[in-house]
């Protein structure tokens, strides 16, 4: 019986740790946005980098893409990176 409990508790622990990490990244992003001297393309790139990391965590752990076919995980990664790159590109040329 203890064998069947261990994987479930390990999964629950993983979910809690990832959730706490997501909350910490959200607070870090908020603090960066509130900083008076935090602006420009570099700042936007940092925030978008945090967004990509958060997206990977959400897709990988909460949407269970770590257990899905590699092609699906690759498509999600390319989407997140491409979206952030596109936003950063248009932000940079608009300045």
pLDDT digits (tens, 9 = 90+) for 41-58: 888 899 999 999 999 999
Distance of CA 79 to the CA centre of its chain: 12
Distance CA 75, CA 15 (A): 23
Distance CA 69, CA 61 (A): 14
Query: Residues 38, 77: contact at Cβ < 8 Å?
Result: no
Give residue 16's pLDDT band: very low, low, confident or very high (50, 70, 90). Answer: very high
Does the pLDDT at position 3 exceed 70?
no
Give the residue extent of every domain in the chain: 2-94
Half-sphere exposure of 70 (CA within 13 A, CB side): 0
Distance CA 37, CA 5 (A): 50
pTM of this prediction exceeds 0.85: no
């Amino acid at each position: 019986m203890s064998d069947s409990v261990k994987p479930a508790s390990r999964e629950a622990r993983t979910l809690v740790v990832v959730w706490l990490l997501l909350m910490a990244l959200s607070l870090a992003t908020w603090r960066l946005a509130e900083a008076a001297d935090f602006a420009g393309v570099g700042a936007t790139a940092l925030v978008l980098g945090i967004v990509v990391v958060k997206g990977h965590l959400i897709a990988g752990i909460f949407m269970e893409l770590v257990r899905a076919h590699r092609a699906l995980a690759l498509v999600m990664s390319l989407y997140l990176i491409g979206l952030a790159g596109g936003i950063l590109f248009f932000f940079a040329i608009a300045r």
